[in-house]
Structure 1
Amino acid sequence: MVPRLCLLLLPLLPPLLQVSATTPEPCEVDDEDIRCFCNFTDPQPDWSSAFQCVAAVEVEIRGGGRSLEQFLKHANTDPKQYVDVIKALRLRRLTVGAARVPAQLLFSALNALGYSRLKELTLEDLELTGTVPPLPLEAPGPALTTLRLRNVSWAEGGAWFTELLQWLKPGLKVLSIAQAHSLAFSCAQLPTFQTLTTLDLSDNPGLGHQGLTAALCPLKFPALQSLALHNTGVETPTRVCQALVAAGVQPQSLDLSHNALRPAAAPGPPPCVWPSTLKDLYLSFAGLEHVPKGLPAKLNKLDLSSNRLSRAPSSDELPEVSKLILDGNPYLDPEAHKHQDSTNSGVVQACTRSALALGISGTAVLLQGAGVFA
């Protein structure tokens, strides 16, 4: 059983090439064998420590910024001969991050995981290199319900996201794409997400209204209920409304918080009729000094918390709303407002934008130093 399990993990985990008793264990597993975390940052990592993750339900593996090309020779291992072993794994949630990964290695792992019960996959701070192997005739990958991608790039560019989706079985319900190098996907090649209920495009500050319109391919998200757009460079709710209408997207919940929202410039965009399904709208941490115009006429919840409102909104400024959230605005705490004015002096939005940019840029610099990017 042990040798077979080793071979099973070859496409996913680096093989057990060496054992070092002089270095700390890079992998830790909790007492219940639920969560296993590995961080291979040592110059000569002890890959055998990954054995501890075999029985875990949730596994997180970080490659220390190194290239995994040395393990490419194991990518052709046929998982069919180990189907019973794969099916016996408890693995449900997997995170892989901080590495340069040959595409063939990644897709070989997905092929093996197609026989598993994996439901949630997260890829973070990865650079995929090389070309995608031919797609197997059978349904190749796992039946994921959740896919999260953060700072994932493909050296060859192009339709990498579409290529990735082809290796997954249908049924995805939650999709999150953050710090993407490009969200300009080919709508013609993108499949229809029949079961996707949650789409999160947060932390893509360069997206803007034009990028949002391009990313929301028309009629590709018929079941969408929740759309999150934190820190995506959108500036007015009306322009977001126009993108939703153009794509035929009808969410119940829309989150535009952590964007520097501003009044529309004269003459402003034409009025937009919001989808009738929209019930909850989140506009917190948006630097708002006034309630923006062009909001839906009726909502269950409107979150205007942690903005810069200097007075209570009047009824004619607000939509018909069942629950209005205004916590964290200066007019509710005059002393905090006075302190804010004396210390920040009108640069709150600029500082917020700079901090966001610095955080994202700093992360990129650190990853470059670790060898994540070419």
Structure 2
Amino acid sequence: MTTDHRWTTPITADLLRGVVDLETTTRGLLPHRLTVRARRQIPDDQLAMAEAQPSGVRLVFRTRATTIELDTLPTKRVYQGFPPPADGVYDLLIDGRLAAQASVSGGNVRTVTDMFTQTSVLAEGPAGTARFADLPAGEKDVEIWLPHTEITELIALRTDAPVEQSPPSRRRTWLHHGSSISHGSNAGHPSAIWPALAAAAGGVELVNLGFGGSALLDPFTARAMRDIPADLISVKIGINIVNSDAMRLRAFTPAVHGFLDTIREGHPSTPLLVVSAILCPVQEDTPGPLAPDLDGGRLRFTATGDPAERSAGRLTLTIIRDELAKIVQQRAADDPNLHYLDGRDLYGESDYAEFPLPDEVHPDGAGHRRIAENFARLAFGDGGPFATKTR
């Protein structure tokens, strides 16, 4: 750590965007993407870990600083038997454009010993510093996007010039809920996950409730969304329901209705977009559960269910898309601000041919860009459900 910085700025909620709740720890502040009440009802370590990974969370401030240091304590996830991932990336944006990147080595390491139960062991480690130097001189708007796949405790912000709170954003707030793809799986860095790219294209403030493995129509997530201020809301439903084999069609339909009913209790007329899963060939017509396959040393996923059991209510992506379209059509008669988007319009057969899914489930960086481009066009573009209304 350097010692020539004259300003240490307390990290407070006023400097953060995209966060739902802040927990005070012995070291600093831990951003959360679910409310305290919701966190108390989480039934598994998978979601507890995912919601504490700050996908879409960023520090936002104005400064003339040319050197910025952010002390953090990361908690990194490693799967036993798999190569450890690279350190998470911190993106620094200046006036909305990516200007620098950094990582923090060390930190805690949580090793997942069972991918199905998410059983894990934690080894504690030291805090570290994300350092950005040689930044352009002059007054500028700075955003530091936190690593989307590392739990990140915020400890200290140091600069070589004063930091000022940015004025409150006048942009609309987009609240999005989805699975690991919305969380950012396989995206190269945090401002390049598809919801972040789509938010930038749409000129909105993102609150990302994309939770790896955990878009399961949980009532506590719906209640959290009900209570979070938002101008635009989307829910991406399907892939986790299928790949976890969480429910049958009989339970799925009322669960969707209940999820939407709860959101509408707090947002009765907010534009609400229901999005089905992107194309995922292994789960289109084969039920879950999904299983990892390390054949050849490369991680891939395969569906293990029996397609013959579809007639008994086992779910596939094809069945879920059909059901979601029916649900939205039924409800839209009394809810003109409810809309449906087929996920294959975001990433379909032609996209799969151009940008195949490396592990058969999650898109790579190019896939995230394609999804973002299509979402921006279909949702924020002219005639889209999130288009800016003109008077």
TM (normalized to structure 1)?
A: 0.30
Q: Which has the higher strand share?
A: 2
Higher relative contact order (CA 8 A, sep 6+): 2
TM (normalized to structure 2)?
A: 0.29
- For the pair shown, which has the larger CA radius of gyration, 1 or 2? 1
